[in-house]
Structure 1
Amino acid sequence: MNILIIGNSGSGKTTLARRLAAELGVAPLSMDRVAFAEGTQRHPVQASVAALQALVQGQVHRVIEGCYADIAEALLPDCDHLLFLNPGVEVCVAHCRRRPWEPDKFASAAEQDAHLDALIAWVRAYPERRDEYGLIRHRALFEVFSGDKRELRRIEDYAAL
């Protein structure tokens, strides 16, 4: 089973991926792990995809999550299930405000907190953004995927998976 989860920052991708991966007995993979070189500089998409494919090589089951439509698009041919988490901007903002410290992304909780306003602005721009991280691009991926797919608009629906 190969599950791909996409959605806005704060939509619950990581939390859902952890739960589904635990049920399958595998480690969840975040696209964040392969997307960036230093700071905000992205790796080329092909390099990110190759790195992700190397990480999952030989795994029978995979749960991959992220907001990078360009990476997700390259993974779609190997995907059995696509989950598009779209609970709305205000739910995502609330999740971001409650997000615990992520030591894999920030040196300290204070450093993470210093970036919160920028993150919230980023989350609020989701419906209008035309980049790889926005609703328009996520919706397009969802529409072209011909396999099993679900758009989840309520957090309560995540538990039913």
Structure 2
Amino acid sequence: MARVVIFGNSGSGKSTLATRMAKESALAHLDLDTLAWEPVSPPVRRPVAQSCESIKHFMNNNKNWIIEGCYSDLLAFAMEGATKVIYLCLPIEHCVENAKSRPWEPHKYESKEAQDANLDMLIHWIRQYENRNDTFSKTPHEQLFSRFSGQKVRCISNDQIV
């Protein structure tokens, strides 16, 4: 049984790795961005309990899965059922470069142009990763990784991402 959780900073390669692993190993794939936010503008977080219900539904309906995201509050819930975690702890500038070269994410943006319009904001967000004190930041990610008692991998460069 394969139940994998991937997490890290924005731009660390979570979606790319999860998509590749899902295809290679026939894993159901859940990107937490798709359920963490209400479909309104400006964006508003869904209540954590509601998002956790969606995660629970996904995990109960798929024997083998991969869940990826940066939300430590949601990741903690998902990790209860995980057999492996992968923490993409890349240097900030690697994440920035990855963000600049990311392909269009149609499940998040209506066009590549709309995605690119948010690039400056995303780069600013990525650069704050080590200094922020929120559910998306490095400190809670480190805590999640250290608490997980199963198989775990920490990747610190793009070359290490398996």
TM tier relative to shorter chain: over 0.9
Alignment of 1:94-113 (within 5 A): 94-113=97-116
Cα displacement string for residues 8-64 of structure 1 (whole angstroms, at most 9, x for unaligned residues)? 011010111111111221232100111000242011111111112212323221100
The secondary structure found in structure 1 opposite 2:54 is: helix
Query: 2:69: which partner in 1?
Result: 66
- Give the Cα–Cα distance (whole angstroms) in 1 for the partners of residues 103 and 158 of structure 2: 18
Which residue number corresponds to residue 18 of structure 2?
A: 17
After superposition, the CA RMSD in angstroms is 1.1
Do the aligned residues in 2 keep the contact of 1:18 with 1:27 (CA within 8 Å)?
no
* 2:82 equivalent among 67, 73, 79: 79
Q: Which residue of 1 aligns with 2:127?
A: 124
Query: Residue 148 of structure 2 aligns with which residue?
Result: 145
CA-to-partner distance for each residue in 1:58-77, whole Å, 9 max, x for gaps?
A: 32211000000000011121
Q: 1:42 aligns with which of 42, 45, 49?
A: 45
Rounded to whole Å, the distance in 1 between the matches of 2:24 and 2:60 is: 19
Query: How much identity, in percent, do the aligned residues show?
Result: 36
In structure 2, the partner of 1:30 is: 31
AA aligned to 2:24 is E
Q: 1:4 maps to what in 2?
A: 5
TM-score (norm 1): 0.94
Partner SS state of residue 106, structure 2? coil
Within 2, Cα distance between the matches of 1:87 and 1:32?
20
Contact (CA 8 Å) 1:85, 1:153: kept in 2 or not? yes
Question: What amino acid sits opposite 1:41 in the alignment?
Answer: V
Cα distance in structure 1, aligned partners of 2:79 and 2:63:
16
Q: Distance in 2 between matches of 1:109 and 1:150?
A: 32
Runs of 4+ in 1 over 2 A off after TM superposition: 55-58
- 5+ long unaligned stretches in structure 2: none
Residue number in structure 1 paired with 2:157: 154
Contact kept, 8 Å, 1:84 with 1:142, in 2: the verdict is yes
Q: How many residues align?
A: 159
TM-score, normalised via structure 2 length: 0.93
Measured in 2, the distance between the counterparts of 1:150 and 1:82 equals: 6
